[in-house]
Structure formats: C-alpha cells, structure tokens
Structure 1
Amino acid sequence: MPPPTIEWLRRNPAVRTVRAAACDLNGIPRGKRMPSRAAERMLSEGTRFPMSALNLDIWGEDIDDSPLVYESGDRDGVLMPTERGFVPMPWLEAPTALLPIWMYHEDGRPYYGDPRHALSRVVKAYRDKGLTAVVAVELEFFLIDDSGRSLQVPISPRSNKRRKAAEILSIRALDAFDTFFTDLYDACEAMDIPADTAISEAGLGQFEINLVHQPDALKAADDAWLFKMLVKGLARRHGFAASFMAKPYQDYAGSGLHTHFSILDSAGGNIFNDGGNKGTDALRHAVAGCLNAMHDSTLIFAPHLNSYDRMVPDSHAPTGLGWAYENRTAAIRIPSGAPAARRIEHRVAGGDVNPYLMLAAILGAALTGIEDGKEPPEPITGNAYAQDLPQIPTEWGDAIDAFEKSATMPRIFGADLIRNMVMTKRQERHYMEELDPQERIDIYLDTV
C-alpha cells in the first residue's frame, strides 16, 4: 500500500484533532493527541516515545526490572505511520482521526517488540516463500450494563426491558439493540473495517461479528484491533459497556476470537485445495504446526487471568490439542464447503487477545509445520472434551513458563518480544493475586 498522505485530513476539514497510537502487548493503544495541523509533520518525521511504552502492564505501569526502563535510560523509539493512514473515530463526540503508528529503532530497523512488527515478520517469512495467508476473524463480545454492583445485560432501547437469558442466533436479540448495530456497521464502513454478518451468541448479551477474509494479514489484524476500539467506544456512546473479556459471567460461555485462514501460492492457488474434502499434504502440515505450537503459545491465546475461566470442558472453548473435520469441539476445525475455499479454523483464542500477536502465533506455527513437513495425529471424531488428548495449559503461570521455555516460539517471535511478554505477564499475575474478583473484572472489562 502507498504511504499515507495529508489528503484525508484535507477532505475532512471538520477533523480538528488527531490521535497517533501504537498497539502495546496487551492490545491497548498508546500514543498522543495533537491538533490536526501537526499531523503533516507526523507523516514525514513520525514521533517519539519511550520503547517501554509498548511494554506496560494492564494498569499502564512500567515493568519492574525491564531492560527497557532504567537499564537503558528509558530510551525513545521512533514511531512512524503505518500504511493504514488516517481513520475516523466515530465513537467520539467531536470529529477526530486516528493515525496508527508502529515503532522502529533509531537506525530505522523495525522494533520486533512491537506487536505489529512481530506479525509483519511472519508475513515476510510467507512472502519469502512465495506464499500469502488469506485471513478472516470472528469476534465475540458482550454488551453489558456495568452501572451497578454486578454485571448484567443492558436494557433494550427498543423495549425498555432487560432479558436475562442466552439467545443463540436470535433475531429478537439483535433487534433489541438495532440502533447500536446500525451505528456500528456505519462506523465500520467509515473506518474501512469489512464487517460481515452479526449473530447473537450463547452468553448474556453476547454477540459475534465476522470480518471478511482478505489476503493481507496485517490489515486483518488492524481491522480487529480497530474494531475492538470501535465497539467499546461506541457502546459507551449508547449508554452501556461492551467488552471482549474472555469470561464476564461464570455460568455462561465466554468470548472467543476464531481465525480462519488459507494459504495462496505465487499463482494465487489455495495450497490446501486438493479438489475434495480432505485437503492437501500442506493442509495437514499446517495443522501439525499449529498443534505442535499450541501448548507453548497458549499465553498469546489466553493472555490474562480471566482468560483461563473460559478454557474449561463443555464451555464451547477447546481444552485438548486435537483437530477434526467440521467439529466445533476441536481446537482446530476444517470447515466443510467448496474445495477451492478449503481452510483451517483455529478456535483457541479468547476475545481478549492482542490480534497482531494472535495472528503471528497462528500463521507462524502453520508455517513451521509446512517447513518441517510435519504430520498431525489422526483427526478426531465426536466430542473432543470426552477424549484422551494432550491438554492446553489451564493455569496462567503454566502458560507463562511454557512460552518462556519453548523451543518453537523463537521461530515465530523475536527474543525481545518473548522476554517482554514473560516479564509483563509475571508482573500482572503477581498483582492480580492481590485483587478480589470484582476488582479483576473492573480492570479487564474496559481494557481488553
């Protein structure tokens, strides 16, 4: 894509302020506010802030003993606009633009502790082999009334009633918040986020929106990151909260962020397509790579304490390392459909993930399987929860240790990111133990 220009602001003169923001390890935007007249200089010169700013904990605090802070003098990184360019922020009252940025070293090298650069590194590895990943994501989230002592479903603006029940694929549930969803789709159009179908899900006030597949993993991650910001911000304009936290209600299913992907060769052919239902050797190798890396990359798919409340048997979240054809109890599902669209669905991640790190982990794992020619175990049939499968870590501390000690993760992520992620999550785990359940919900509800 061409570099962004000032033309967008000139076509939108009502925009008087700009937010320049990068994505930190937790998916939280970090950056600066400026008048729109200052944005032209941003496009050519970028901006600077401490490299440690992309490695803060969930409260926005520095990481104790991080080499990015006192040891290095808390040195600056150079942040330049991504190819995304300016996008509107329709959840704010005043017309405002967001300029996504990402971090470089002083000498111009990408800083691979930046989640977007981490994904870019994986995309380059595909490109070097003449391959392109085609990616789509499904984002689940909750609409929540958090004005009282406990979380509950918001009152419908149409009926002025509160329906305290799960409503799978309910048109009534969608219609109850029709104004919100109409505004959401209009905002997605304005932000160039390819929102597709919306459904109601199994949790209280839970919904899912699919983003259309595209042959650009970086844009797919951008879209998911921006979509999460949009949903949370727009919900507040409508008088309630929206959250992508993995498990706000203990008695109902949590929110996932499922990823569908296929891989194209240099001629544009799907390397998973064998003309039938089973898929090619390349599909099996990619599945094997995903399964091989899944245990050690659980910290990416379940990055928070609350994430592990979702990953329990019979909860619509996978717990075993297995794959299957057309089976939603498995961690890896091969959907049915036309052979030309043969793809892999990775079902482990919660809605609370960082989209850049999630896609880097999934696509990077698939590529290691293809490179190594790995064969997966036999696909399962029936209920995956009832089978004797190797298990995904169910404790946050175990996932942190597995990520740190893994022999596979350095093939996907840079050493800086692995170190920073481990230090961040150990600090968060320490301080989360001091909080009661309500305080934990309060911090996760708006941040993830």
Structure 2
Amino acid sequence: MKDWLRKHPDVRTIRVAAVDLNGQARGKRIPARFAENVVKNGTRFPFSVLNLDIWGEDIDESPLVFEQGDQDGVLKPTERGFMPMPWLEAPTALLPIWMFRENGTPYEGDPRHALRAVVEKFKERGLTPVVAMELEFFLIDDSGKTLQVPPSPRSGKRRKAAETLSIRALDAFDSFFTDLYDACEAMDIPADTTTSETGLGQFEVNLMHCDDPLRAADDAWLFKMLVKGLARRHGFAASFMAKPYPEYSGSGLHTHFSLVDEDGRNVFDSGGPKGTATLRSAVAGCLNAMHDSTLIFAPHQNSYERLVPGKHAPTAICWGYENRTSAIRIPAGNPSARRIEHRVAGGDVNPYLMLAAILGAALDGITQAMEPPPPITGNAYAMEDLPQIPDTWEGAIEALEHSTTVPRFLHPELIKNLIQTKRQELHYIGELSESERVELYLDTV
C-alpha cells in the first residue's frame, strides 16, 4: 500500500472510508504524509458510526451510543488498498477500511464483515461464489424545482423520453461515459457494457464477473460513489435512487451468481438448460428468504415505488427460465455459464448487505437441500396465486424483525441495528414532503 503513494507523489490527502448500513461512506480526511500510520495502525471511530440513519444521525434507541459509552472500534485497511478519487479536483487517494473490535475480532455490525462471514461458510464447503452485477442509474438535472433529464453536452437538447438501448442516448453523454470508463480503469473497477434503459435519462453499466464476492461488492460500492461524484463534475447529478420519476420504471441492481468447486467446475452446470439439483436448491433458498429479507433489497421509502406490477421490477416470489417478470431468472446460454439472476434489489441498496443476503439464502437452501416450486412460464404480474414481496416499507421492516430465516446467515446484532435504523427513518420520513424526500434520496443512495 505504501508503494502506491510513492508512485503517486502528487496525492496530498487521503480519505479513509468504511461503509455503514445504508451504504454511505463514513470516514476521515488525512494528509498523505500521515498515511503510513493509518496503514500500520489503522484508525478509530465509534461503532455507532456504521449504524447512522440516512441523514447521518445517531439511532435514538441504539445501545451502541450512550448505553455503551459510544465506544470506538478499530478500523483497518481492506485488502483493496489505495486508489485514486477521479471525481475530485485535487489528486486524492481513497483507502477503504473496515471495523474490528479492540481484541482484533471483526465487528458484526459492519456490512462488509457480514458478507465475509457468508463467503467463509461457502469456503468451508469447498465452494466459491462467482458474482457479476448490473447497476442502473439516472442522469438528472436537479437545478430546478422539478427533476428532468440533463441537456446533451453535444447538442444542448433534452430527450424527454425513454430511449431503450439507444445509441443516440449513449452518444449524447459520450464525454461523461468516456471519463467514467477512464476512471473505472484507474480505480480497477471492471466496468463492461453500458446501455440506455427504459427510464428518463436512465443507463445501466455491467460489472464483469468476479470470483471474490467481497471485491465484487467493493466494485459496486465504489462505482456508485464514482458515478455520483463524476456526474457533478460534468454539471449534472447521477442517482441510484430506486424511482425518481413516478411515470417511468425504476433502477435495479441485478446480481448474477454461480458457484464453482475446488476443481473450478460450475456446480450449477448440468450440461443442459435446466441446471443441477444444487442450482434448484440455491433458487429455493433465495425464494424462501425473499419475503423476510426484502428490507435489504428495498431499504428506503422510495424503494417501494419501484416494486409495482408491470414496471420491470418483480413483485411476486417466483422463479423461471429466461423470464424477466420473475424475481429469480435462470438465463439461457452455454451450460458452463449456468447461473442465477436475482432481480429484486433496487439501485439504492447497500451492495454488501444485498450480496450477503442473496448468497446467504442460496447457501441456506443448498445446506438444507430445499426444493423450489415449479418454475413459472408467462407473465408473473398476472398470476394472482403467487406469494408476494412486501409492498410497503413498514411491512418489510416487520418481516425482517420477525424472521427466523435471515438470522441463519446474518448476525443478530446487524439485523437489530438495521431494524432500529429503518424504524427511525420511517418515523422522520413521514414529516417530509414528497419533494423533500426526493431531495434526500437523490444524493444519498
């Protein structure tokens, strides 16, 4: 890590940042000449900092604050190391960190450790998850009273319509996407294909598959930070808010995953289109936990405006082959690449918690040799007999609070912290107008 700074002598300050339950970066600014001390000894801030609400306020009922004296945790660099922050004017480095207790054990309320614990359970079974993510976001002009698509830097015109898979829409913001790909290269984020989507000024960038789930979640977290910061340098906003425009589809974060054994074999590959019994058990586990873990996939009030029938987001708990109306889709293609696509999460999620919930549920299904219901064919929105994903924020909070399934793969302290956080947000969000809610979520999530 120290070598990185020596190779970048123009970097004068660093940011050390950990991820809180809402996916926000929490940390410090440090002069680069003191960076070696952080690398060697870490830094400190209170456990409660990873359990703040969406405004950055303490949780009123949290035992982490006054009950425990607001004790410090020890934050150490992750294996990611230093990287540039291309959205800032001055040359600056980011050092991702995560939290430990004083005795060196991981802090269970840290979302990155939640994912690490799930991945370790896979390793105990000789399995490695291979993960890829598709992140949707909106480019937005938020300078006026109402949100609208930014004018094209090339033509100065606004295209006030959805332009699904439009090359013209991509070319209209070519300078932004060129800078974005250059920045991803500098930060070692594996950005692949970009497409325009069905929303107003909406785009999707795919991140290449990775056989390290922690790194995949890092990539998604860093990518969200990068896109939002870089857009501001270009004179507009970028947002992963689930649904900024009521009349258009919202933004999802779809996750594809397969599992490979110690010989590098995809254990979902049956040699044909249907997949193996292990794949079906993983699907069953995901379906079994979906209702109770919805709060992780839809963590904010605005999230539930996306989860409505007919708007390209799942509402029923079901699975199918090559069916984008289902919550779990098994894509077609070469059997060696057989995988599961989990389609519930919005763009506003914490990627670490999301991936921990998906992979943890899949492993739960495999461990218990669960069998899923028959796959659906046709339009899931029109099937009234299917179990449904919670359609309200309060309902999702209650589902997680009373779950006996989710504690099998997420630590009880993290679950309790998340529930307290969301109950506090639910209370105070009710005091805001719709425009104030949009303003809150536009930049934070």
Q: Shorter chain as normaliser: what TM range?
A: over 0.9
**Match for residue 222 of structure 2?**
226
| CA-to-aligned-CA distance 1:63-87 (integer Å, 9 cap, x gap) | 0020000000000000000000001
In the alignment, does 2:134 pair up with 1:118?
A: no
Query: Which amino acid is 1:431 matched to?
Result: Y
**Match for residue 445 of structure 1?**
442
In the alignment, does 2:336 pair up with 1:340?
A: yes
Secondary structure of 1:14 counterpart: coil
**Match for residue 257 of structure 2?**
261
Secondary structure of 1:367 counterpart: helix
TM normalised by structure 1 equals 0.99
Q: How far apart are residue 200 of structure 1 and its match?
A: 0.1
Correspondent of 1:373 among 346, 358, 369:
369
In the alignment, does 2:8 pair up with 1:12?
A: yes
| CA-to-aligned-CA distance 1:303-334 (integer Å, 9 cap, x gap) | 00000000000010000000000010000000
Correspondent of 2:85 among 80, 85, 89:
89
Correspondent of 1:168 among 161, 164, 169:
164
Instruction: State the aligned residue count.
Output: 444
TM normalised by structure 2 equals 1.00
Secondary structure of 2:130 counterpart: strand
Q: How far apart are residue 104 of structure 1 and its match?
A: 0.3
**Match for residue 352 of structure 2?**
356
Query: Which amino acid is 1:409 matched to?
Result: V
**Match for residue 426 of structure 2?**
429
Secondary structure of 2:418 counterpart: helix
Q: How does 1:74-85 map to 2 (within 5 A)?
A: 74-85=70-81
Q: Tell me the percent identity.
A: 73
Query: Which amino acid is 2:233 matched to?
Result: R
State the alpha-carbon separation in 1 of the partners of residues 112 and 375 from structure 2: 33
Q: How far apart are residue 44 of structure 1 and its match?
A: 1.0
Secondary structure of 2:67 counterpart: helix
Query: Which amino acid is 2:84 matched to?
Result: P
**Match for residue 384 of structure 1?**
380
**Match for residue 308 of structure 2?**
312
| CA-to-aligned-CA distance 1:204-250 (integer Å, 9 cap, x gap) | 00000000001000000000000000000000000000000000000
In the alignment, does 2:151 pair up with 1:155?
A: yes
What is the root-mean-square deviation of aligned Cα atoms in Å?
Answer: 0.4
Q: Which runs of 5+ in 1 are unaligned?
A: none
| CA-to-aligned-CA distance 1:281-315 (integer Å, 9 cap, x gap) | 00000000000000000000000000000000001
Q: How far apart are residue 364 of structure 1 and its match?
A: 0.3
Q: How far apart are residue 412 of structure 1 and its match?
A: 1.1
| CA-to-aligned-CA distance 1:128-164 (integer Å, 9 cap, x gap) | 1110000000000000000000000001000000110
In the alignment, does 2:199 pair up with 1:200?
A: no
Question: 4+ residue runs of structure 1 moved beyond 3 angstroms?
Answer: none
| CA-to-aligned-CA distance 1:227-283 (integer Å, 9 cap, x gap) | 000000000000000000000000000000000000001111000000000000000
State the alpha-carbon separation in 2 of the partners of residues 399 and 87 from structure 1: 36
Q: Which runs of 5+ in 2 are unaligned?
A: none
